[in-house]
């Protein structure tokens, strides 16, 4: 018993010395998280962020509704604040996102029609990606374009973009992004790509087809973002479908980023130790699997501390207890999930 306790402590201390940022760097990876403008005002948080992240992404501040609040009005204040922070702390900056069916400003729905939507999309991308040109590591150019439930043979979501522009809207967006910023890694980003279930398998197949179509249409796409909003209640997985999928994505010469990782503890019992243990186990297992693929270059969690996780407002637990889906707790202390991420990052196989 004593040996185990001592070994545990020694290991814990040794491990705590390595931030996720340093650990990732040693393995040739980037680690970071989504950040909100509000969090950036909190100096305890920002010192944690500076220490732990080598890459950051604005949680909402570059979305249409925030950055393009009027037809001819752009508001770069909050996005610029994160860009300045990232530059000061030698962090890379992701752009999220240029084309999505959600968080569009009210004016867009009033004004957009089949006659002008393509031009609105091009102009928005040229203004926003142009503003940040040279500062962005990678842009999520199109977000969540696949929705199998909509029943189309190509799997495309029946979104406002599809309705107003047609299936070509994705290629239009990628071409506009490339014209505005020739340096950023242009990324397609989506969710429900991770589990072994038939639902996720169908989505993986549709995403592969979409990526192949984009490439054959000459769309300048260079990466895939797998959001990775995981559910702790999903149980153990073999990740067979995910491995096959990542091999195919790699064969298409695309990079892969884990863009929005968190572990939803909605269906786990209230007991905190048990919950933290299961959440950490899934973080460790998932990252251990995906990091075997050399195409995976970056891991970002969707938030850094439980205090600010979107899951608490967006999808609260049935028992009303705060969720614990991220590596740090509400007091910014490392949780078991932190150590699981750290271990997985450190064990990333080295490039031969």
Q: Point out the residues that are catalytic.
A: 144, 260
Site membership for ligand XIL, residue 59 (CB under 6 A)? yes
Long-range contacts of 199-206 (CB under 8 A, 24+ apart): 199/148, 200/241, 201/241, 202/148, 202/155, 203/146, 203/148, 203/155, 204/241, 204/242, 204/245, 205/155, 206/146, 206/148, 206/154, 206/155
Q: Between the CA of residue 138 and those of 165, 202, 266, what are the distances in Å?
A: 24, 26, 31
Site membership for ligand XIL, residue 310 (CB under 6 A)? yes
- Cβ-based neighbours of 126, under 8 Å, separated by 6 or more: 176, 179, 180
Judge contact between 267 and 233, C-beta under 8 A: yes
- Between CA 211 and CA 67, with CA 184 as vertex, the angle to 5 degrees is 95
Query: Where do the H-state alpha helices sit in 181-271?
Result: 198-216, 240-251
- Cβ-based neighbours of 338, under 8 Å, separated by 6 or more: 20, 327, 328
Site membership for ligand XIL, residue 194 (CB under 6 A)? no
**Complex with ligand XIL: residue 102 or 244, whichever CB lies closer:** 102
Taking the complex as a whole, the smallest distance from the CB of residue 266 to ligand XIL amounts, in Å, to 15
* Binding-site size, ligand XIL (CB under 6 A): 6
Taking the complex as a whole, the smallest distance from the CB of residue 193 to ligand XIL amounts, in Å, to 12
Taking the complex as a whole, the smallest distance from the CB of residue 308 to ligand XIL amounts, in Å, to 9
Site membership for ligand XIL, residue 60 (CB under 6 A)? yes
Lookup: tokens for 37: 């403008």
Site membership for ligand XIL, residue 239 (CB under 6 A)? no
Residue with nearest beta carbon to ligand XIL: 310
**Complex with ligand XIL: residue 60 or 346, whichever CB lies closer:** 60
Taking the complex as a whole, the smallest distance from the CB of residue 97 to ligand XIL amounts, in Å, to 7
* Cα–Cα dist 201/148, whole Å: 11
Taking the complex as a whole, the smallest distance from the CB of residue 277 to ligand XIL amounts, in Å, to 25
Site membership for ligand XIL, residue 31 (CB under 6 A)? no
Taking the complex as a whole, the smallest distance from the CB of residue 314 to ligand XIL amounts, in Å, to 6
- 138-167: contacts with ligand XIL (CB under 6 A): 143
Taking the complex as a whole, the smallest distance from the CB of residue 100 to ligand XIL amounts, in Å, to 7
In angstroms, how far is CA 233 from the centroid of its own chain? 21
**Complex with ligand XIL: residue 25 or 36, whichever CB lies closer:** 36
* Cα–Cα dist 121/116, whole Å: 9
Taking the alpha carbons at both ends of the chain, their separation in whole angstroms is 40
**Complex with ligand XIL: residue 260 or 276, whichever CB lies closer:** 260
* Cα–Cα dist 108/180, whole Å: 22
* Cα–Cα dist 95/49, whole Å: 17
**Complex with ligand XIL: residue 59 or 194, whichever CB lies closer:** 59
**Complex with ligand XIL: residue 92 or 229, whichever CB lies closer:** 229
Binding mask 106-145 for ligand XIL (x = CB under 6 A): -------------------------------------x--
* Cα–Cα dist 170/39, whole Å: 32
- 195-234: contacts with ligand XIL (CB under 6 A): 227
**Complex with ligand XIL: residue 19 or 305, whichever CB lies closer:** 305
- 243-282: contacts with ligand XIL (CB under 6 A): 260
Chain contacts with ligand XIL (rule: CB under 6 A):
59-60, 143, 227, 260, 310
């Amino acid at each position: 018993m004593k040996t185990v306790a001592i070994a545990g402590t020694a290991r814990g201390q040794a491990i705590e010395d390595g931030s996720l940022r340093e650990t990732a760097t040693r393995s040739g990876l980037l680690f970071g998280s989504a950040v909100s403008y509000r969090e950036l005002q909190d100096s305890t948080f920002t010192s944690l962020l500076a220490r732990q992240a080598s890459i950051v992404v604005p949680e909402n501040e570059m979305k249409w509704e925030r950055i393009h609040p009027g037809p001819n009005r752009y508001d770069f204040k909050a996005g610029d604040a994160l860009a300045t922070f990232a530059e000061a702390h030698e962090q890379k900056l992701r752009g999220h996102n240029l084309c999505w069916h959600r968080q569009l400003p009210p004016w867009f729905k009033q004004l957009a029609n089949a006659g002008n939507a393509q031009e609105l999309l091009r102009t928005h991308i040229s203004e926003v990606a142009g503003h940040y040109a040279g500062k962005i590591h990678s842009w999520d150019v199109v977000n969540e374009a696949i929705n199998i439930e909509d029943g189309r043979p190509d799997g495309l979501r029946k979104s406002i973009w599809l309705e107003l522009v047609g299936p070509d809207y994705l290629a239009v967006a990628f071409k506009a992004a490339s014209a505005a910023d020739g340096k950023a890694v242009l990324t397609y980003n989506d969710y429900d790509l991770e589990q072994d279930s038939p639902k996720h398998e169908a989505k993986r197949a549709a995403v592969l087809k979409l990526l192949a179509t984009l490439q054959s249409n000459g769309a300048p796409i260079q990466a895939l973002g797998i959001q990775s909003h995981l559910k702790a209640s999903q149980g153990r997985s073999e990740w067979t479908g995910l491995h096959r999928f990542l091999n195919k994505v790699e064969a298409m010469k695309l990079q892969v980023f884990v863009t929005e990782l968190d572990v939803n503890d909605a269906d786990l019992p209230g007991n905190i130790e048990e919950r933290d243990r299961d959440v950490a186990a899934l973080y460790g297992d998932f990252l251990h699997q995906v990091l075997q693929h050399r195409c995976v270059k970056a891991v970002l969690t969707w938030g850094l501390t439980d205090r600010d996780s979107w899951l608490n407002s967006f999808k609260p637990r049935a028992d009303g207890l705060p969720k614990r889906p991220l590596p740090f707790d509400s007091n910014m202390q490392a949780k078991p999930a932190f150590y699981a991420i750290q271990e997985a990052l450190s064990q990333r196989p080295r490039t031969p």
